Structure 1
Amino acid sequence: MCPPCYNDRKSPRASFHDYKAGIYFITICTKDKRHYFGKVQEGIMQLSPIGEFCHQQWERVSEHYPYATVPLFIVMPNHIHAIVSINQETEPAAQKTARETLAIVVGGIKREVTMFAREHKIAFDWQSRYYDRIIRNRKEGNNIATYIENNVARWDSDKYYEKEP
């Protein structure tokens, strides 16, 4: 029998979503929100070498994961925002839920960036988890896209903003 805490745990799954396919808004942060990926200067995101590599990985998602597309993303100094679309019609995604497949994509990018950092002797670490939200309709998707597109311009007021020492 499971301990009581397992029985009381709320499922992270949305009851209105079948998880066979989906479009998600995700946010991935660096550990302790350290500015590994670069800095915002005069309203422009200046990517560091690891930030540039991370950016390239997001551009190439469909090459590595044919069931996933990323129509919009931004690499910020200490986090990434992306819209990720999962298509369950292609293998191996058909064998998993879209959320599980999304975790494979995010985990793959995190792994590649971590390997790049180690190979180039760059101090780097990710926050252990990431945030995902199902995009439920066009209006919500448009609002999220606007948020991502304006992220650099709003950096000083962003909830992830912290000045580097």
Structure 2
Amino acid sequence: MCPPCYHDRKSPRASFHDYQAGIYFVTICTKDKRHYFGKVQDGIMHLSPIGEFCQQQWEEVSSHYPYATVPLFVVMPNHVHAIVSINQETECAIQKTDREALATVIGGVKREVTMFARKRKIEFDWQSRYYDRIIRNMWEGNNIANYIENNVARWDSDEYYRKEP
């Protein structure tokens, strides 16, 4: 019996939502949760060169994708948390037919960081998928924002924490 094909996987997407507009909590991990982006020391995130570039890409999302804004994000040693807002009203978002607007933004950031690493011969790879959650109300959004803002301070107890050898 052959292993299940990629196309046979159950989609993690909500069937009731078209992912063209809304506000999302996104988590993207590095492959094997390796600490490519830097390290947390004394409650401060110290970014590596690839971590600095990753942070810059998140800061510039709106200049590359006018239909998207990122009001809050954090780059951690082995993952990124972000709140991504997609605005359906912009012409760019409305014209999207073949890919979800959110997936386009995430794919673009992942691609740029990967190309940065390859050009500089820095070992790096992303986990193939990412986690997203639709933020449904202000209460949920405030809890997620608090989680992101305190992620560095809570690093030792974070679910993505993993000591590097």
Q: TM-score, normalised by structure 1?
A: 0.89
Q: How many residues align?
A: 158
**SS at structure 1 position matched to 2:100:** helix
Output one character per residue of 1:63-106: Cα deviation in whole Å (capped at 9) or x when no partner.
00000000000000000000000001112210337x81000000
Cα offset, 1:148, TM superposition? 0.2
Cα offset, 1:21, TM superposition? 1.2
For structure 1, which runs of at least 5 residues remain unmatched after alignment?
1-7
Aligned residue for 1:156?
156
Aligned residue for 1:95?
95
> 1:12 and 1:50 mapped to 2: Cα distance?
28
> 2:10 and 2:119 mapped to 1: Cα distance?
40
Amino acid at match of 1:60: E
Cα offset, 1:12, TM superposition? 4.0
Percent identity reads 85
**SS at structure 2 position matched to 1:54:** helix
Aligned residue for 1:53?
53
Aligned residue for 2:4?
none
**SS at structure 2 position matched to 1:40:** strand
Cα offset, 1:18, TM superposition? 5.1
Q: TM-score, normalised by structure 2?
A: 0.89
Moved over 6 A (4+): none
> 1:128 and 1:18 mapped to 2: Cα distance?
21
For structure 2, which runs of at least 5 residues remain unmatched after alignment?
1-7
